[in-house]
Structure formats: structure tokens, C-alpha cells
Chain A
């Protein structure tokens, strides 16, 4: 079963929840960190035996001996990733390229072929019994979804896969959660938390995915998240009160279940409840 941990708002505790769930469950369990812009799960998991590999996507390369500067490539490209200038030069912008191959297909001179462009790294390792996989987007690269897709190719068919999602409700978050069987939305009981939770709920409903809510730092704000959940009949899976010890442990990259061992059972119960309920 694939369980994604997401939220509209950043900093609500997605990574904390993801890594602590993964470390609480019996094997086989894997954790995928799909927040490739700012991956943090490895800070808490400290995986060993890390294997790194470059991740590439295909981008156009123009053979200037064949090119007659007709401009067909620039016309078909919706992403402004290739353009022909009047003074007979072709410019390509790899960080904008979505890899549709339109330019390759349309070129009447067959002057464009594809080459591999490295835009990130895939890292695999093991922390205790948890298989850890994360992607790291190269700084300066704009597009994370192709790297997220690559990380998700590592999803196995046995056991549980926990997927740590990036914040927001646009392409990176959608790319991450759309293959999940269930989504845990992490929020906090504040107006920002509630506003962004509502956006995330709209997103998972659009994808027709079953989901529930975890309220982190559940006593720092007001009751409006609970009221909203009741009204919308969304299950509140777990509430975790604010605790300075947890915050300090977090700051040092330590696990919540190592500071408050009782939490381990709560995470196990939550996942069992989700499994019993069944995913997508």
C-alpha cells in the first residue's frame, strides 16, 4: 500500500510524520522523499550504504550543419525552450524543456536529436529496516515533476510505501500523490493551516483519493480545523500536541518516537486503521 503524506502549507510536519511512521512500522517498509526541492527525510533517517545516481531527462540538441533556421521548432514549443533568432542562431533552454519531443518530430531537416541532461540525483540507502529513497533537484533547475516520477519508479509491490510529498497543490504535489492509495494531510490548528488544508483537500478530492487528517501541534491555535473536519466528514487520524522536547529533537534531526516512545504505537494504530479501511 502506498501512503502519501502531504499538506498545502509548508512546515506543518509532513517529514516528521513520514519518517516516524516509517520507523514505527515492521518491515517491509520503504520511504520515498518526493520533496525533491528541499528533501529532509534523510536528515532524520540517516540512511547508510547510500548509492547515488544521476537522473537525466532528454532535451534537444541541434545539429547546426543541418539546420536551415526555418523556426518550426520554436513554433511548436509551448515552453519557450527552443528558439531561432533572425541572425541564424538557435538557442535552447534546457531548464524550460518539458521533453515533449515536438521539436525533434517537427524539424524538416532532421537536425534535432535528443541528449540526456542531468538535472538531479537519486539516492538510495537503508536506515534500520527502512529502505530510504530520495531525489535531489539540482539548484537552478525549475522542474521537479520528472524527478518525482523517477523517485516513484522505485515503489515496490511488497509492504508499505510512505511517500513524503512537497508542499502546495500544484504540479509537484499532484505528481507525488496521484499514484498513492491513501493520502494523510498534515495540518496545524491555525488560520494558515486551515486555509492551506482546504486547498489540499480540494486537490485530493479532485484525484478521487481517500484521505484523513493529522493535526500537528494540535493545541497551539484554535478549534477551526476540527470544526472543518467534522463538517466535511473527514477523519482526524491523529492529534499531536505541541511539545518543546519534540521541537528540540526535530531541530537536531532526531526522531519523535525516540523522544516519546509511546508515539510509536499511535503511528502503528493509525496505519492499521488506514489499511483496514482500505485505500483506492
Chain B
């Protein structure tokens, strides 16, 4: 079984529109939305949820005023300034449990908390695993791993040979969690200086984690010189260029209609996306 993760470094380059289109074009796969912090795939691929699961993330410390003797041990040990007047600020609390361990009166509880939910769904294109991290919650990396594992298990069980995952922006913990050990990543970028800057960092991460990469340039005609430079940069980081998609208002219209571009209309962008999928598919066949 192969696992393709779509990432971008910079946000808003069109990852989800591309993944949504791949869902129309690929066969025998499981979809995964690994952008658990701002999941959008469900807006173009409407899911019918068949199974809901609680995501149990980290712990948070809670001082029981009945047992607390106000000795101040916890205040001295907390590295996050999370304790004031013998109450714990849950937003500042890192969930390290040091205060819990060292409290001489055992007055601090440390319950594991529900930090979000994850779902297994049916869609018009096949099964999808997706999630929602609670607002202001931590452990997004762990939830990404949960989604990926569930998608792979489902693929195995149903004899599906591909997982297509929509990844998060950035290069931090959720991105590392979503690409480590994947068969390949497809980086979707745009021909802007920001796109270029962010591409280099995310490509470096893919190299560092030894995940083979491909590059797709979205809205390439916005700045064709920059698009050329992106192709040159791709080579520098051993990324295989798999195509360029023109700027096309039909992509936004599809989003507004709640569909993926390929599912919505035939346009300049969608014929380019079809070609990108063909190239991606050939690339995956070589692994």
C-alpha cells in the first residue's frame, strides 16, 4: 500500500482543491484529512460519518482546593507560569505533570482530556478518515498520526492500495507527523517569493525525513519567471516536477459550489490537474 501526502509549506496554495480533484481521478484509495487544525476537505468531499471516535490527547493538571495546603511547591516547579493563586491556567498548562508528581499533599489531579474527535466516513469517492482538533488544543501531531494510522488500516482491510492525505501548512509538529514514513509527498506551491521561500523550507524537511517529493505549481501564470525559478529549485531539492496549473476563477467557483474543481466543470485548470494526477500516479508506480 502506498501513501501520498499533499503539503505546501505556505498555506492557501490550493492543496485541498488538488486533493479533492485527485479523489475524482484516482481509484481504489482511502482519503485522509491530515490538516486536523483547519480541516477543509469535507467541504468539497461531503462525508457521511459512519464512526465517531474521541481523541484523547494530553493531560491537564487541576488543583483540588480541598486537599491543597498552599505550600507553594507547585509554583516553584512549574516552568510555564501556569499557576496563580493555587489555580491552574489551563491554556498556559503544558500538561507535563511535574506539579502532580511533586505535590506533597497529592492535591493535583491529572485527567487525560478529550482534545478532539476523529471520524471514519463514506463519500461518493470512497472512504475518508478525518478529524477535528478542539479549539486551542495541543497534540495536533498525535491526532494526525491517529488519522493516518486509521486510514492505512482501513485501506489494508478493504484491499485498497493507496492513501491520499491532505496535509497541514507549515513545517512543524503536525507536518512532521503527516509526512514521516509516507511513500511520497506532493508539494503544492505558487509562483510568489513567499511560495518560493516556504517551498525551500518544506522541501528541506522532506529531504531531512527522506521522503521522495514531487512539485506542482498552482496559478503558475501569475508570475511565469517565478514559476521557472521554482522548477529550478525543485531540482535542487530532488523534487520531481509534475505539472503547472493556471489561475482559473473556476477553481473558486467549484469551492463555492462545494465541489472539487474536476467534479465541477471542465476548464483550463482541470485539464492541467488531470495531467498532474497522471504524472503523480506514474511517479507512485515507480515506488
A binds B: yes
Residues in chain A within 8 A of chain B (CB atoms): 8-12, 15, 35, 37-38, 40, 43, 76, 78-79, 98-102, 105-106, 137, 139-144, 166-172, 174, 178, 190-192, 195-196, 199, 202-203, 206-207, 220-222, 247-248, 250-253
The reply to whether B252 and A190 contact each other, CB–CB distance below 8 Å, is yes
Indicate if B38 sits at the interface (CB-CB under 8 A).
Answer: yes
Which residue of chain B has its CB nearest to the CB of A221? B256
Residues in chain B within 8 A of chain A (CB atoms): 8-13, 16, 37-38, 40, 43, 58-59, 77, 79-80, 91, 94-98, 101-102, 133, 135-138, 140-141, 168-176, 190-195, 197-198, 201-202, 204-205, 208-209, 222-223, 226, 249, 252, 255-256, 258
Apart from A10-B38, A140-B209, what 16 extra A-B contacts exist at CB < 8 Å? Answer: A11-B169, A38-B197, A43-B197, A100-B97, A102-B101, A139-B171, A140-B205, A142-B172, A144-B172, A169-B135, A170-B140, A171-B138, A203-B136, A207-B136, A250-B192, A251-B222
Which residue of chain A has its CB nearest to the CB of B249? A220
Q: Provide the residues of chain A in CB contact with B79, threshold 8 Å.
A: 99-101
21 of the cross-chain contacts (CB-CB < 8 Å) are: A37-B169, A37-B170, A37-B172, A38-B10, A38-B170, A38-B202, A43-B197, A78-B97, A106-B101, A137-B172, A144-B173, A169-B38, A169-B136, A170-B37, A170-B138, A172-B170, A190-B252, A195-B38, A251-B195, A252-B223, A253-B192
Nearest 5 Cβ contacts at the A-B interface:
A10-B11, A11-B12, A100-B96, A37-B170, A142-B173
The reply to whether B40 and A196 contact each other, CB–CB distance below 8 Å, is yes
Known interface pairs A76-B101, A171-B138. Does A222 touch B256 (Cβ–Cβ under 8 Å)? yes
The reply to whether A195 and B40 contact each other, CB–CB distance below 8 Å, is yes
* Alpha-carbon separation in the docked complex, A190 to B169 (Å): 18
Q: Provide the residues of chain A in CB contact with B176, threshold 8 Å.
A: 140, 142
Q: How far is the CB of A138 from chain B (nearest CB, A)?
A: 9
Q: Provide the residues of chain A in CB contact with B94, threshold 8 Å.
A: 98, 100
Main secondary structure of the interface of A (DSSP, over half): loop
The CB with the most chain A CB atoms within 10 A, among B38, B191, B223, is that of: B38
Q: Provide the residues of chain A in CB contact with B13, threshold 8 Å.
A: 11
The reply to whether B191 and A139 contact each other, CB–CB distance below 8 Å, is no
The reply to whether A37 and B102 contact each other, CB–CB distance below 8 Å, is no
The reply to whether B96 and A196 contact each other, CB–CB distance below 8 Å, is no
Which residue of chain A has its CB nearest to the CB of B170? A37
The reply to whether B222 and A167 contact each other, CB–CB distance below 8 Å, is no
The reply to whether A251 and B197 contact each other, CB–CB distance below 8 Å, is no
The reply to whether A196 and B101 contact each other, CB–CB distance below 8 Å, is no
* Alpha-carbon separation in the docked complex, A78 to B138 (Å): 13
Q: How far is the CB of B51 from chain A (nearest CB, A)?
A: 22
The reply to whether A252 and B249 contact each other, CB–CB distance below 8 Å, is no
* Alpha-carbon separation in the docked complex, A74 to B198 (Å): 36
The reply to whether B98 and A203 contact each other, CB–CB distance below 8 Å, is no
Picked from A105, A170, A248, the residue with its CB within 8 Å of the CB of B133 is: A170
Picked from A79, A191, A206, A247, the residue with its CB within 8 Å of the CB of B222 is: A247
The reply to whether B98 and A102 contact each other, CB–CB distance below 8 Å, is yes
* Alpha-carbon separation in the docked complex, A102 to B101 (Å): 9
The reply to whether B135 and A203 contact each other, CB–CB distance below 8 Å, is yes
Q: Provide the residues of chain A in CB contact with B169, threshold 8 Å.
A: 10-11, 37-38, 167-168
* Alpha-carbon separation in the docked complex, A143 to B190 (Å): 26
